[in-house]
Amino acid sequence: MFVKICGVTSLETAKVVQNAGADFIGFVFAPSKRRIAPVKAAEIAKHLSPSLKKVGVFVNESLENIKLIANLVGLDYIQLHGDEPKQLATKIPYPIIKAFSIDQVDAATIQDYPYDYLLIDSPGETFRGGSGNTFNWKKLNELKIDRRKLLLAGGLNINNIKEAIDTVHPIGVDVSSGVETDGVKDHEKIHQFIQQATYETI
């Protein structure tokens, strides 16, 4: 089970994410309370193992800026979390994680979109991205997604992650607010979440 901890903004937290055994770390380069400057993300990235895959989260960003930031930070994956057309995705020279809100996606869109992983999230509120709430996981059955490419997001936390995995059977899970306390990444929750998510595969 792959685990992605998203919205990391400090080296201290990044080290916790790495030491806890996460597979992906997410840096948000789009409007968000977890937004990070590319220069700061690049400095954090210098201290991380190559085995921890660095994901840049973008919302309706230009191809030029995506490439510039990816090169500066040393990103391994590009996560497109906006309304990016498939024509843009085909021009990005990095593996793609394409995020869709569960209420804005259909089988035809998924079929035509070039991606390495498909991330399905809860509908956003103020910003693009999840609301911190879960959605009806049974809706995923209507999309006929290859579960070997599915990353589940939206309201996941240490209390529901096992149920989510048992119900959905994704290849990986993505969490941000679910490992926070009062809007700040909680290092103990990060450890607990990864332990819960990977329990069956240990």
φ, ψ at 24 (rounded to 5°): -130, 145
- DSSP state, 79? E
6 catalytic per annotation? yes
Fill in the amino acid letter for 90.
T
Compute how many other C-beta atoms are within 10 angstroms of the C-beta atom of residue 15: 16
121 catalytic per annotation? yes
Set 6, 106, 166, 174: catalytic member: 6
Count Cβ neighbours within 10 Å for each residue of 113-146 and write b for 16 or more, e otherwise: bebebbbbbbebeebbbbbbebbebeebeebebe
| Cβ-contact 196, 158 below 8 angstroms | yes
The Cα 43–Cα 9 span in angstroms is 11
- The tally of CA atoms less than 13 A away on the side-chain side of residue 139 is 14
Q: Which positions are annotated as active-site residues?
A: 6, 121
